[in-house]
Amino acid sequence: MEYEAVIGLEVHVQLDTNSKMFTRVGTGFGQPPNSLTDPVVLGLPGALPVMNEEAIEKSIKVGLLLDCKIAEVCKWDRKNYFYPDMPKNYQISQFDQPICEGGQVEIEMPGENPAKMGPHRMVELTRIHLEEDVGKLTHYEQDSLVDYNRAGCPLLEIVSEPDMHSPDEVFAYLTSLRNSLVAAGISACDMEKGQLRCDANISVRPKGETKLGTKVELKNLNTISGVRNGVEYEIRRQIRAIEEGTPIIQETRRWNPEQKYTTPMRTKEMAHDYRYFPDPDLMPVKIDPAWIDRVRKELPEKPFDKQRRYQKEMNLPYSITSALCGDHLLCAYFEEAAGLAKSAGKVANWVVNDLLRELSQANKVDDFAEKETMKTTPQSCPVSPQMLAELVNLIEDGKLTNNVAKELFPEMFTTGKSAAELAKEKGLDQQSDDSEIEGICAEAIANDPDAAEKFRGGKEGAINALKGAVMKASRGQANPKVVDETLRRLLS
Amino acid sequence: MSSDSPIFKSATELSQDLQAGTVSSAEITQAMIDRIDAVDEKVHAFLHIDKEDALAQAKASDERRANGESLSPLDGVPVGMKDVIAVKNQPLTAASKILENYRSPYDATVVRKLKEAGAVVAGRLNLDEFAMGSSTENSAYGPTRNPWNLDCVPGGSSGGSSAAVAAREVPLTLGSDTGGSIRQPASLCGVVGMKPTYGMVSRYGLAAFASSLDQIGPFSTTVEDAALLLETISGHDSLDSTSYPTDVPSYSAELKISSEPKVLGLPKEFFGPGMDDEVRASIEQVIEYYRSIGYQTREVSLPTTDLSIPVYYVIATAEASSNLARYDGIRYTSRSERAENAIDVYAKSRGEGFGSEVKRRCILGAYALSSGYYDAYYLRAQKARTLIRQDFEKAFTEVDAILTPTSPTPAFKFGEKSDDPISMYLSDVYTISTNLAGLPGISVPCGFSNSGLPIGVQLIGKAFEESSLLQIAHAYDREHLHGRQAPNL
């Protein structure tokens, strides 16, 4: 029998805000444990929450980016349960009046090959709500330690409809969501740092069946590929169970990324009764339409819209745009350089091939902390968009050959020197000096009378042998266009 | 002790004496400490008093005054705190074993305001554990006794705050009122106690019992003193989202302006059976007095009055069950030594740390919020609360304030109601609806029973019209000053 998987995702995104969700204490990663705390974060007697406006604004922004309906009024509820990572033993969240409802995420499935665009579709969202994050527990043999630095950070939960059917769709969804959120400055979405976390609800049913199968919630999916692998495993496990006649029980399972299987965590019977009720310490939030309009004006272009624009308006090939559009910093760099250069297409090639290669080289450091502080971005790297534009223009103007430029680029990246500067230092400026080139060309014709004869006899291809000789003699520095013209003139 | 000792003076008198230079804050504070040493063994209003710190504050006040830098009329006047209001570096136990070793690292907003006004913030006052109770018998550190009769309760939950003022241990105190916890003990101890409009005084730094009902308010021996203390602690606070952005007039200055006679409402539902005869007689004298100075009285109806106790015990316990979840043995609360795993830490720390009334209310509240019962209890209670509020709104279209007894009886004996929670809950029958409606209410001493126990009258005002309510209360109090009578201790 053929089966169909039905998957819905709950994605938690830490909003990048200056202060925590309900207090003035700052946010940050890698600070000394429990240093980002105050009476509110620690839930001391008498402490009260006060809403962070920036977190609301960022949530509105996400809602608009994902075409959600923004609530006129949203309110705060307490989700009650005991756990040591939660100082108050309740989490301030949104139960029945979330800040956003509906919405969709555009995804792209893999194409026939990497050079071909795959099919696009919309994944429907149920809702998005805002809540406060919990602390982080570290377990040791005898004790557990808790760090409340993360506790109280604004956390957005984006809940999709059960609208995905394969691990590839899940992967595409997370990738697209992450690209959009990063581009809009909502969050860095680094899964390693817990800035983006994901739980998957998975069920399986015979193909054609409309009723949903029994749902299993999968947790501990800590990387995007972990999500794909975990979901893939769980689908296979459920199909196998159905085929063996074992009933699927509604439960929460944990993905084990090392051993690559899922294990039960708790069943439905063990599920908490969260005793939600409106938080009496906080007033409902009325969201003024003027506020929404203002946020709307600040929305960045969506990554897929950008990609379509690059293809249509700049005639960039799909493979180049797909390499660019996953990274909004790269896009910003590209657009700045392209605006200064004579060929946007050439700039795109340089960005996607050479700049990306140098960046990944530069960021290849093992030490995690170092990686944090030293991370090189397109904007912080030594080759500015102006310098790349200059490089491309030198090639376009015949002042530098492509080969020489390729050689120079890594050095520009390490030294921060411009292409012109380096070429001059190395004596690699392209020769466009007609008399010098004419001399070399004449010599080449003299050295290969056979080729000259064939060309004169109408064999067009024979000129290539002569060109090769000229380039060789000039150590690659002769402008190919000038060489071509000169040879043809001398041979006519 | 001589009757011209500072301890027998009102805060307003002390303020005048300080300004006149006839007494220093150090003298007042020392007299207060001596009085505590002399009588608190009997009364047990104080859970803790940091004498050194109090005298240091007093000395600083005297220095300011000497330099002509006095901060406010309250500069140098001692104010005691119910042990649920956070004072930096002082204990905060909420009269619970679970907070036995906790000290607050920060000041409540009211405390910050008092310190900025130069007041000597001193003493931690007894209460029913986490402000749950009406007799102060639920304190884990032993009950407070009524200074008028040591066999009787002082009322609660702010029994320490009311008894300390009645016993002349401190001229002013702050308490908190969730269902009557300021007004009822004020009435039982023969002092003035006021619950402001919800949102008038910041709750930041008040260990929460029921967030939508709790308000901090003053205790004093006169309405004039209550006005002075209230104007110092009121006002919008950016740290409390439920605090109301409004200007605070000088209540004490407005008391001096002669006000027109007002219209008082007498809710017929409050004057039915269940009211003690002596209380009834005393209240009738108050009504007569108001009529004699030109006030009109009018019968009004608050038909949902009988809903207030059940509604209160659903909403207050539901909020409490969540508010008290933080006391878990993990961070700053006492951890059970018998705990062997994480669940144990919660169950045993809370089991050993909380008293039975706190446990009862947490269980009631958790039940009312649980899945399948929420709509029937919590949601219905909230709807009924709206009806209660609407009753008051309607009544206030006809009258300026509502007059009722504060408590159905004078102070009762220890143990009389402690085994019967329902009868204890009924002692708040006249005060609870005020909290549900968010309105200001004040209890003013209006005489004594034949056995010498104080009786109080309650006046309930319109939201955010504290000034008018205080004027009405003052019109009675300035001519009677029952609160100025001190018990023999």
> Hey, of B236, B240, B322, which one would you mutate to test binding to chain A, going by the most A CBs within 10 A of its CB?
B322
- Rg (C-alpha) for chain B, rounded Å, is 21
Token reading at A32 = 């000394």
Calpha distance A2→A208 (Å, rounded): 9
Taking CB atoms and an 8 Å limit, are B322 and A277 in contact across chains? yes
Please name the member of A42, A48, A146 whose beta carbon is closest to the beta carbon of B239: A48
Helix (H/G/I), strand (E/B), else coil: B4: coil
Pinpoint the residues of chain A covered by CATH 1.10.10.410. 434-491
Q: What is the pLDDT of residue A372?
A: 58
Q: Are A207 and A3 in contact (CB under 8 A)?
A: yes
Q: What is the pLDDT of residue A477?
A: 77
Q: How many residues does chain B have?
A: 489
Q: How distant is the Cα of B50 from the closest Cα of chain A, in angstroms? A: 20
Taking CB atoms and an 8 Å limit, are A48 and B241 in contact across chains? yes
Helix (H/G/I), strand (E/B), else coil: A125: strand
Neighbours of A454 (CB within 10 A): 16
Q: Tell me, what amino acid is at B346?
A: Y
**What is the value of ipTM here, to two decimals?**
0.96
DSSP state of B434: H
- Rg (C-alpha) for chain A, rounded Å, is 30
Taking CB atoms and an 8 Å limit, are B240 and A90 in contact across chains? no
Helix (H/G/I), strand (E/B), else coil: B172: strand
List residues in chain B touching A: CB distance below 8 A. 84-86, 92, 94, 99, 102, 104-106, 108, 203-208, 210-212, 238-242, 318-319, 321-322, 325-326, 328, 330-332, 342, 346, 366, 369-371, 374, 378
> Hey, of A34, A48, A142, which one would you mutate to test binding to chain B, going by the most B CBs within 10 A of its CB?
A48
Taking CB atoms and an 8 Å limit, are B106 and A280 in contact across chains? no
Please name the member of A44, A89, A282 whose beta carbon is closest to the beta carbon of B241: A282
Residue A263 zone, left/alpha/beta (φ > 0; ψ -120 to 50; rest): beta
Residues with pLDDT less than 50, chain B = none
Taking CB atoms and an 8 Å limit, are A80 and B325 in contact across chains? yes
From the list A292, A57, A302, the residue with the least C-alpha distance to A156 is A57
Q: Tell me, what amino acid is at A35?
A: S
User: CB-based contact (8 Å) between A48 and chain B?
Assistant: yes
Phi/psi at A115 (5° precision): -85, -10
Q: How distant is the Cα of B369 from the closest Cα of chain A, in angstroms? A: 5
Q: What is the pLDDT of residue A126?
A: 98
Max Cα distance, chain A (Å): 99
Strand ranges (E), A161-312: 196-206, 216-221, 251-256, 261-267, 277-278, 285-286
Taking CB atoms and an 8 Å limit, are A44 and B105 in contact across chains? yes
List, by residue number, the catalytic residues of B.
Answer: 82, 157, 181
Q: Where are the domains of chain B?
A: 6-262+466-484, 306-380
Q: How far is CA A81 from CA A78, A130, A252, B235, B320, in A?
A: 10, 18, 17, 34, 14
Q: How many residues does chain A have?
A: 492
Calpha distance A424→A434 (Å, rounded): 19
Please name the member of B211, B369, B374 whose beta carbon is closest to the beta carbon of A281: B211
Q: What is the pLDDT of residue A371?
A: 54
Q: Are B164 and B31 in contact (CB under 8 A)?
A: no
Architecture of domain A434-491: Orthogonal Bundle (1.10)
Helix (H/G/I), strand (E/B), else coil: A253: strand
Please name the member of A39, A90, A277 whose beta carbon is closest to the beta carbon of B105: A39
Taking CB atoms and an 8 Å limit, are A87 and B212 in contact across chains? no
Question: Closest-CA residue in chain A for B199?
Answer: A281
Q: What is the pLDDT of residue B3?
A: 66
Max Cα distance, chain B (Å): 70
Please name the member of B104, B105, B326 whose beta carbon is closest to the beta carbon of A87: B326
Report the predicted TM-score, pTM, of the whole model to 2 decimal places.
0.90
Per the DSSP assignment, residues forming a β-bridge with B476 are: none
Please name the member of A39, A49, A78 whose beta carbon is closest to the beta carbon of B322: A78
Q: How distant is the Cα of A51 from the closest Cα of chain B, in angstroms? A: 8
Taking CB atoms and an 8 Å limit, are A46 and B369 in contact across chains? no
Residue A420: burial class (beta carbons within 10 Å; 0-12, 13-18, 19+): middle
Q: Could you tell me which CATH class the domain B6-262+466-484 is placed in?
A: alpha beta
Question: Closest-CA residue in chain B for A277?
Answer: B369
Strand ranges (E), B344-489: 401-405, 441-448, 454-460
What are the chain B neighbours of A277 within 8 Å (beta carbons)?
318-319, 322, 369, 374, 378
What are the chain A neighbours of B239 within 8 Å (beta carbons)?
48, 50
pLDDT average per 10 residues of sequence, chain A (492 residues):
96 96 93 96 98 97 98 97 94 97 97 92 98 94 92 98 97 96 95 93 95 94 92 96 93 92 84 93 96 96 96 94 94 96 95 93 68 78 94 89 89 91 76 73 89 88 88 81 86 84
Taking CB atoms and an 8 Å limit, are A280 and B86 in contact across chains? no
Beta strands B441-448 and B296-300, pairing class: unpaired
Q: Which long-range contacts (CB under 8 A, 24 or more apart) does B16-25 make?
A: B18/B65, B18/B70, B18/B75, B18/B76, B18/B77, B19/B70, B19/B73, B24/B58, B24/B62, B24/B65, B24/B76, B25/B57, B25/B58, B25/B59, B25/B61, B25/B62, B25/B65, B25/B75, B25/B76, B25/B77, B25/B120
Calpha distance A492→B29 (Å, rounded): 116
What are the chain B neighbours of A273 within 8 Å (beta carbons)?
370-371
Taking CB atoms and an 8 Å limit, are B325 and A82 in contact across chains? yes
Q: Within the 116-145 window of chain A, which residues sit less than 8 Å (CB to CB) from chain B? A: 144
Q: How distant is the Cα of B342 from the closest Cα of chain A, in angstroms? A: 8
